[in-house]
Structure 1
Amino acid sequence: MTALTVLQLDTGFPRVPGDVGCAATYTGTVQVLRIPRATVAHVVTSNPDAIDIAPFEAAIALAQGEVIATSCGFLAPFQDRLAARTGRPVIASALGALDDLSLTHSPDQILIITFDASILGPAHLGRHAVFAQGIVGLPPDSHLRRVIVGDLTKLDTDRAGAEVVALVARHRRPAHRHILLECTNLPPYKAALRAATGLPVTDILSRIEAARPGTVVPAFV
């Protein structure tokens, strides 16, 4: 049986091990459904109401996985709507982890790393809007962000990882107790972030593994 279905944005940039859309991230079979016209420009927006969610809903009818996830955390506002389409677990975004994290952490204790901090906000955080104070985005000139925005064919993971670790180092505060990666392209650098900060890191893979233990390769959990 297929372990996981990923509803992936309509992108062509490299999906490296640890990325939610890479088959090598998982121990079992993964089905990746690329959603036509769901580009980064159309989905990564401050106005979720502008997103055409219908193609994602249609794709769920084709999903074979025991768990269904999306490849973009900006789809968080559609968690319930997508879940209503199936009786299987649906993980629209790593931001859903705030349901549990908010029970044990105050807003100043969670550092949220996103693709674009100028866009991610209350509309995506819902009842956890108070945690917006901890959002930090990838700089526009960073390697990983330029690869994603330009849908480039080459990704230097060493460079991307070093820049992500440096970003967190610049924004980390003494109060921080947890790192939450909204962007599903950041998990490949989770181990480096843990090593550099000593902090626990939650991401889309954490939520997938919680929904179906044994799905994610241990090195990426």
Structure 2
Amino acid sequence: MIAYGGKAVYGAPLGILMLEARFPRIQGDMGNAGTWPFPVLYRVVKGASPERVVLHGAAGLLPSFLEAAAELVSVGAEAITTNCGFLSLFQRELAAHVGVPVATSALMQVPWVQAMLPPGKRVGVVTVSAGSLTPRHLEAAGAPLDMPVVGTEDGVEFFRVLILGEKQDMDVGLAAADVLDAGRRLMARHPEVGAVVLECTNMPPYAAALRAALGVPVFDVYSLVTWLQAGVRPREFGALSVA
């Protein structure tokens, strides 16, 4: 057998562009490496605070994200994703720059999920900040502009810890309550919602509880990234005889 090189890291084909933050990343959070059932590569983008990316449209950060994505590819990443659904704004530029598959946002799942729903049902979104999720973000992700959206801005813990960065500890119970409350408000306002997509990459720890509370399927960045990984590294089912 002959082994071939060409890159620095092997066995971790998925690269994740991380925001620069210090809040807790519990199991299920995208930034907790134990969340993933496969190895991943991380690169923190300097200056990309959650506040700057979410509340200020990631202004001026595109060059830094392009550079960090290229670095991940150079060391071995064969696909790229990001640590914030609001980075759908950079989808086209990142994919063009690195030349490998790129999935910037859980919102990219909206058209797929909508196609699965019965007539009369719609996809709804729970986001960390509904006031910051603009038509530009939705359009870049291929999501309808009139889609029902509810955020966690009015909660007591989730938004304050993740976006405002007021502290480095988090009451997980209160954070979960904020996400569940946003989901319930979404369903109360829009009873036609037949499935939910979680924009925020910090929400997967609460997806199962939200599914139980709302009674509809819930999709998030975990479902997006495991789908992406399944294409980059398809499961092998045994030796094949190829004629």
TM-score of Structure 1 vs Structure 2, range by shorter chain: 0.7 to 0.9
Gaps of 5+ in 2: 1-10, 233-243
- Higher alpha-carbon deviation: 132-141 or 75-84: 132-141
SS of residue in 2 equivalent to 1:118 = helix
Assess, with a 3 A threshold, how the Cα gap between structure 1 residues 51 and 39 changes in structure 2: closer, same or farther.
same
Residues 2 and 31 in structure 1, CA contact (< 8 A), matched pair in contact too: yes
Correspondence for 1:67 = 79
Structure 1 residue 140 displacement after superposition:
3.6
Match of 2:173 among 149, 158, 164: 158
Normalized against structure 1, the TM-score is what?
0.87
Structure 1 residue 108 displacement after superposition:
6.4
Q: Percent identity?
A: 35
Assess, with a 3 A threshold, how the Cα gap between structure 1 residues 100 and 23 changes in structure 2: closer, same or farther.
same
**Larger RCO of the pair (alpha carbons < 8 Å, separation 6+):** 1
Give, in whole Å, the separation in 1 of the partners of 2:68 and 2:155.
Answer: 33
Match of 2:99 among 67, 70, 87: 87
Residues 46 and 120 in structure 1, CA contact (< 8 A), matched pair in contact too: no
Structural RMSD (CA):
2.3
Larger radius of gyration: 2
Q: Match for 1:150: what amino acid?
A: L
Deviations 1:26-65 (A, max 9, x none): 12222221100111222114646x3421111001122133
Match of 1:22 among 11, 14, 32: 32
Give, in whole Å, the separation in 1 of the partners of 2:178 and 2:57.
Answer: 28
1:42-61 alignment, distance < 5 Å: 42-45=52-55, 47=57, 50-61=59-70
Give, in whole Å, the separation in 1 of the partners of 2:115 and 2:56.
Answer: 26
Normalized against structure 2, the TM-score is what?
0.79
Match of 1:136 among 140, 150, 155: 150
Residues 13 and 79 in structure 2, CA contact (< 8 A), matched pair in contact too: yes
Correspondence for 1:177 = 194
Give, in whole Å, the separation in 1 of the partners of 2:191 and 2:83.
Answer: 31
Say whether residues 1:37 and 2:28 are aligned partners.
Answer: no
Assess, with a 3 A threshold, how the Cα gap between structure 1 residues 174 and 99 changes in structure 2: closer, same or farther.
closer
Structure 1 residue 153 displacement after superposition:
1.2
Correspondence for 1:117 = 130
Residues 126 and 150 in structure 2, CA contact (< 8 A), matched pair in contact too: yes
Correspondence for 1:219 = none
SS of residue in 2 equivalent to 1:112 = strand
Give, in whole Å, the separation in 2 of the partners of 1:102 and 1:200.
Answer: 11
